[in-house]
Chain A
Amino acid sequence: MAISVLVVDDEETFVQTLAKRLTLRRFNVYTASRAERVFATLSENLIDVVVLDVKMPDLDGIEATQTIKNSYPLIEIILLTGHASLEASLEGMKRGAFDYLLKPVNIDELVYKIEDAHRKKELQEEKIRRLKDESNDPSGEVGPVD
């Protein structure tokens, strides 16, 4: 099944171009250019990987990373930024981002990151499924996510 990717950026042209290029690479692409659409899309669809601009007028990408990971711990997030900052990038990684890329985006590099992020998610899902099957624990505790 195709990997589902949600691309989030307030620059409409950027979002559309990136969506087109990712679709050509056989990804199932959703887009959002406003904060409200991000959470609506996540709740309405099974998203594997979010590609998220760090700096949007109505959304702080670093905080959004934490919020998304709190609600959907298995979804992997790749942060994008136009302005490199070591401090901000490491903060994003600490809050659970899978990776951090600088614009302009090299499409091959982004594709690799999405594939790697998806593979990680797949293995986590398999682990949880297996532990749930095995577990007699009614609480459903299945251990941490890597």
Chain B
Amino acid sequence: MSALTWLQRLVGRFRGTPSEQPDPEAARNLFQRRYHALRLLLAANTQALSAMAAMEQAAIKGGGFGMTFVRSHCTAVGVNVFKMVRNLDILAPEKYTLLFDRLEEIQHRIDDDLATIPTPGDVPHVLPMAEIQHTHIDVTGSKMATLGEVANVVGLSVPGGFVITTSAFDRLIAANDIQPEISRLLQAYQSEKLDELFVLSSKLQQLILTAEVPPEIADAIVAGAEAAEPAPYSTFALRSSALGEDSAGASFAGQYETLLNVRRSNLVASYLEIVASTYTPQAMQYRKRHGLREDQVAMSVGCLEMIDARSGGVVYSGNPGDDRDSDIYISSAWGLPKSIVDGRFASDLIIVKRAEPPTISSRDIGDKRNQFVLHPREGVRRADVPDAMQRQPSLADHEALAIADAAMKLESHFGTLVDVEWAMTHAGDIVILQCRPLTQLRESTDRSLPADTPKPLISGGVNASPGAAAGPVHWVTRDMDALSFSRNSVLALVQPLPRWAALLDRTAAVVAEEGGIAGHLATVARELGVPAILGAGSLADLENGFEVTVDASGRAVYAGTIDALIEQRAAHPEQVADSPVRRTLRTVLTHISLLNLVDPKGLDFTPENCKTMHDITRFCHEQAVREIFAFGTETKFPEYASKQLHHNVPMQWWILDLGGGFGQPVSGKYVRLEDIACKPMLALWDGMVAVPWDGPPATSRRGLASILFEATANPALASPFKKPYADRNYFIISEHFLNLQSRFGFHFTNVEALAGPRLEENYLSFSFKGGAADLERKAARARFIGDLLAELSFDTEVIEDVVNARRTSLDHQDVEQGLRVVGYLLMHTRQLDMIMADRAAVAHYGAKIRADLTQFI
């Protein structure tokens, strides 16, 4: 017997006929299995949509994700879409089997796209630099994967050496069983206080520093050092390369440790130090600011040949503070590039114009009295620059042009502006030490000053991060000063050291006596949009607590707060990075997130027209609700039939209880509001009746019940004949679940919520469409509602007169609170489209709605 005939037999028995009464227990079991299938389908829908949203975010923002991210999210979407199709098949056996074929076709298309980037096989603990390319990003971190690509694909010179991969990191954490303690400490930390962050950071770093490096990792490190090319070299530079580091908009510049001149015998201990720097206060603050998850941190470490540089520095293939400027900016100093990236000492700034051939358009030669050098025995140390060299350029013209050429090659290969750390050897060879996407800000085009701008207290320095902001001055020269740093202060520094980046999260603006545009602190300031003037010279006039406005774009500091200037200088981050992984992500998204099936009433709303994963989720969700509704309305067994809501009068809503939605069994045609136990429905109802409607038209004297009645009164609903699903007002409920499909006046609404004990599965979604006015006013109302919901933390999308809003991962109280808001909006926005042309009226109702919501939430 086929599944279909068997179910037909059972359903036939369940539905019953006058001569054949249904078996209540069989009916109950069938109903519960269908309800369970619906619940699993809805949970899979939430998970599929969340995975799609994460992929879309990554595609828009860019970032240091690799193919592991892309593959795991494709898998999450695929598995959950499969579960939706399978559960729909339980709700409507053999009715939509074509969806399995559709899913398989989409899966093959995705697999084909994913195959363009091979999966690295089993990952060793150590990989030689000569084997690394950008596709190794998941195991070597972005920084080392990019450096490998620079050498092995672009063909530029990089230091030799090897990378200790994330596989070693995972093994280190697992072998010492410290992840539970790390998770516990991180979960326990809820504070905003800096001193507590420092304590947490210290505990986490201690956990790692006291861990045992498993022998297989130690052996692999020693073997890697022995095999390193070009041999022999006795000391290494150890550089962090964490997952997510160095991505566009998240450079982590200087937030992790770099150790120079590490002897072979110290490699293992130094490896632990770099891994421990995963939890420096500044790195933790940085992750928080960029919304990066602590539990997805994994550190790999590059062990690279030390380059004894005659000169070193940083080249930007564009002006980081102004996207209209395509010149190439080279910061250079004598010795190692450390003096540039630390922002400590004076340097040269050489600007190269892109022309045929490129030419040097400007040279600003600094008074370079100090440098960092590589000493054979003492390692990296500070040294005086001989008098004769102090005012000499640290790069000859042809060397500067060669560096600019390398930057342009890298820019062309990676398809984005680049920020490159380089060294020039004593033999005159260029070695690339690091390459990452450059964050560029769009500078305000208006360079004028507002009227009445006073004379600046300080002028000069470099615009290291454009914009303007005001706040009280707070000098930071040692850690103690940082602990008392209050939010929205102006950070005043002598040297813009990378470690002060932990404060940028709460900083209005930065001013420093020393430093230039290429330092790590400048890079992070640009990413966070914090205006910064560096290299300003003496700031002795700025006293602690003194209120100032820092105009980085105008390279000036003014006494007091000048709002007009702050507004005029507003800067916007501009991210343009791309990578093969991101391109692959965008390609697979065309099979995943595009939505072609938009209108459930449309003739094209069929399995045949499901072209993407999103189409299948949309189709399954819609059909699942229809099927369960049909099941509930067609059954002859009264316990499972839908009931008409009775609240003072019979309302135009029918209610189908899937289990636990009624406080007690309800026999007969009606269910009273006091019999409802579904908390989401009661919350929505609370919102609907919380504040009497006094908008157009004025509140009826017949009271709220009749307004609620009228709300659903529509000519199409007056018919005594049985309505199809889409034309009826009904609630499908259970103890924790609500689906409301309703017409309110002339608009169509769908509210769906799950508010159970599983926070991860809970959600609230709200769709709204239509109205009686013309499309322009309906669209204006949709935007009005969309803005309100966005203010209330909903993910909101407005397309013409349609509003779709969704919130996920909420506890049940938050879902219920959200439902009160939605209930209120249902009643109070239903005829607002009629007044959308009247600006004063819109402002009036906007203010009233916000005031009402503030009062009753």
Contact = CB atoms under 8 A, between A and B. Distances in A.
Interface in A58-113: 83-87, 89-90, 93-94, 99-100, 102, 108-109, 112
B479 interface: no
B75 A102 contact: yes
B810 interface: no
Interface in A94-146: 94, 99-100, 102, 108-109, 112, 116, 119-120, 123-124, 126-127, 130, 134, 141, 143-144, 146
A144 B26 contact: no
A86 B3 CA distance: 28
A143 B4 CA distance: 10
Interface in B1-32: 1, 3, 6-7, 10, 23, 25-26, 29-30, 32
A123 B33 CA distance: 6
Contacts of A141: 1
A28 to B, nearest CB: 22
B75 A100 contact: yes
Interface stretch (B66-74, B481-489, B716-724, B779-787): B66-74
Contacts of A13: 174
B154 interface: no
Given A84-B68, A102-B76, A123 B1 contact: no
Nearest to A142: B6
B72 A130 contact: no
A27 to B, nearest CB: 17
Nearest to B75: A84
Contacts of B761: 112
B29 A143 contact: no
Interface in B753-781: 758, 760-761
Contacts of B43: 116
B83 interface: yes
Contacts, number: 81
A86 B760 contact: no
A127 B29 contact: yes
A123 B25 CA distance: 12
A27 B78 CA distance: 29
A108 B760 contact: yes
Contact of B107 (A83, A87, A112, A124): A87
Interface in B117-156: 119
Nearest to B108: A87
A134 B7 CA distance: 15
B376 to A, nearest CB: 45
B71 A84 contact: yes
Contacts of B758: 108, 112
A123 B74 contact: no
B760 A109 contact: yes
Contact of A84 (B26, B29, B74, B174): B74
Given A90-B82, A144-B3, A85 B71 contact: yes
Contacts of B104: 90
Contact of A123 (B10, B29, B119): B29
Contact of A146 (B33, B103, B110): B33
A86 B6 contact: no
A86 B40 contact: no
Interface string B78-103: 11001100100010000000000001
Nearest to A108: B760
B423 interface: no
Nearest to B43: A116
Given A84-B68, A146-B33, A130 B82 contact: no
A142 B758 CA distance: 34
Nearest to A129: B29
Given A120-B36, A126-B29, A143 B1 contact: yes
A124 B32 CA distance: 10
Given A86-B75, A89-B78, 18 more contacts: A13-B174, A83-B71, A84-B72, A85-B71, A86-B110, A87-B107, A90-B103, A93-B86, A99-B79, A112-B760, A127-B29, A130-B23, A130-B29, A134-B26, A143-B7, A146-B33, A146-B37, A146-B90
